[in-house]
Amino acid sequence: MQQYKKALLLHETVVTNAARIFGERSKFYLGRRRLLGALYCCDGQFERSISVLEATANEQATILGDDHEDYLRTLMELGRTYRLSKQTNKAMGVQERVVQQWKIKVGETNRSRLDAEEELAFVYFQSSDLERGSQLVEHVLEKRPVFNPEDPEPENLRSAWNLSSIYNKCGRYDDAFSVSQPTVQLLRASLSEGDPHLLGAEYELAYCLYRSGRYDESLPIWEHIVEMRRKNCPTSELIRLNCENNLGSCYYFAARYNKALPLWEHVVGEVQNTLPETDSLRLAAEHNLGLCLHNMDKFTEALPLWQQVVKVKRETLPEHDKTRLESEETLSNCLYKTGRLKEAHRLFSHVLKYREENKATSPEDYKDTLELIAEVESAMEAEKVKT
């Protein structure tokens, strides 16, 4: 977020001078203050952003009226800040109101209306209403103007990038690919390789290829993205760590464990110092590193990672959850391979209880757990004979 620091310092000065020269009730001052609030949001200062934007919106409503374009733009920025600060219900109330006002004032191809509808789509997505979110972005994409290579910020490509992101999050990977591939081709023709818009679009393309099992196609894109993020982001920047984690997954599924291992060791080292135990990126990175070590037969190194993963999943997921059971089973195997047979048997038995309940739908899982318990019991018998 360093790129916003200089802009913030400059704009704070602009706002101060605008108040002195034009007055605090002037359109110019209020417009500059809206931009200042938006910059606070971009810098992650959500409380400060909300305070500035709420005050600005209230004054604009009084001075300009609650259907004025400047007021609606401030409300949209306020709604975005609510969304990014996870205040989803507030964001939805604000953005639905903004969209309704734009529908009354302007036609369906108006840029401000389309921007507001797109922002509302992301609120729907955040509230898990994936269908309404994807439908709204599809509508926005249809109404955006045709791509113009001379336009420095092509709005229809931004919408396409957002749509591919929603498709990915909905698991509609074929749809995501059909949108993201041409988007990336167009952006590559007009933007530099490190441009954040291009990197964002490449991320969505790489992700849908990866999730579709097309690792060979996904891998060079991830390598390029990570190369660019390493040039422009500090080692602890979450966007960089997320990309490195995904690149590690591609290496892993391509059976290139020696490439995946140091990458995940780096990511886990960073996230354990900066993120809470329950954070999804931290949990995914610990899971991935643990799996890589486990499959390389490095059970001693894998054991503390799986203990941590299982601890968090037990706190956050029900006992019958499939991903929790898979992690508990892998932890059981690490305990078994490191000679902690009684602990391994106890945990395998716990997993088997739930596997047995679901053996009609997942017979292979049940069979695998039975075989592992038999192995542990055989090892326990052999240990008894030795003693």
Q: What is the pLDDT of residue 387?
A: 64
Judgement on whether residues 119 and 191 belong to the same structural domain of the protein? no
Burial of 160 (0-12, 13-18, 19+ CB in 10 A): buried
Judgement on whether residues 124 and 87 belong to the same structural domain of the protein? yes
Judgement on whether residues 97 and 188 belong to the same structural domain of the protein? no
CA dist list (Å): 219 to 181, 212, 306, 320: 15, 13, 27, 34
pLDDT tens figures, 206-238: 999 999 999 999 999 999 999 999 998 888 888
Residue 234 belongs to some domain of the structure: no
Q: Categorize the per-residue pLDDT at 362 as very low, low, confident or very high, splitting at 50, 70 and 90.
A: confident
Q: What is the pLDDT of residue 153?
A: 58
Q: Give the mean model confidence (pLDDT) for residues 329-358.
A: 92
Residue 215 belongs to some domain of the structure: yes
- Which residue range forms the structural domain that includes residue 3? 1-144
Q: Give the mean model confidence (pLDDT) for residues 37-50.
A: 90
Judgement on whether residues 116 and 184 belong to the same structural domain of the protein? no
Q: Categorize the per-residue pLDDT at 151 as very low, low, confident or very high, splitting at 50, 70 and 90.
A: low
Judgement on whether residues 184 and 282 belong to the same structural domain of the protein? no
Judgement on whether residues 184 and 300 belong to the same structural domain of the protein? no
Does this model's pTM top 0.85? My answer is no
Judgement on whether residues 139 and 181 belong to the same structural domain of the protein? no
Q: Give the mean model confidence (pLDDT) for residues 288-307.
A: 97
Reduced DSSP (H G I as helix, E B as strand, rest coil) percent helix, strand, coil of the chain, to 5: 80, 0, 20
Judgement on whether residues 97 and 195 belong to the same structural domain of the protein? no
Among residues 93, 128, 144, the one where a domain terminates is 144
Residues 171, 175, 179, 181: what is their CA dihedral angle, to the nearest 10 degrees?
80
Domain count, the chain: 3
Q: What is the pLDDT of residue 382?
A: 85
Judgement on whether residues 38 and 105 belong to the same structural domain of the protein? yes
- What are the structure tokens assigned to 268, written together? 């886990």
Q: Give the mean model confidence (pLDDT) for residues 126-141.
A: 86
How many CB atoms are closer than 10 A to CB 88? 16
Q: Categorize the per-residue pLDDT at 147 as very low, low, confident or very high, splitting at 50, 70 and 90.
A: low
pLDDT tens figures, 236-283: 888 899 999 999 999 999 999 999 999 999 999 999 999 999 999 999
DSSP annotation of 193 reads: T
Q: What is the CATH number of the domain that holds 318?
A: 1.25.40.10
Judgement on whether residues 89 and 209 belong to the same structural domain of the protein? no
pLDDT tens figures, 95-118: 999 999 999 999 998 989 998 998
Cα 146 to the chain's mean position, in Å?
Answer: 29
Relative orientation angle of helices 280-295 and 257-274, to the nearest 10 degrees:
150
Among all chains, which residue has been given the structure tokens 């290496």? 251
Among all chains, which residue has been given the structure tokens 């592992």? 372
* Separation of first and last alpha carbons in the chain: 62
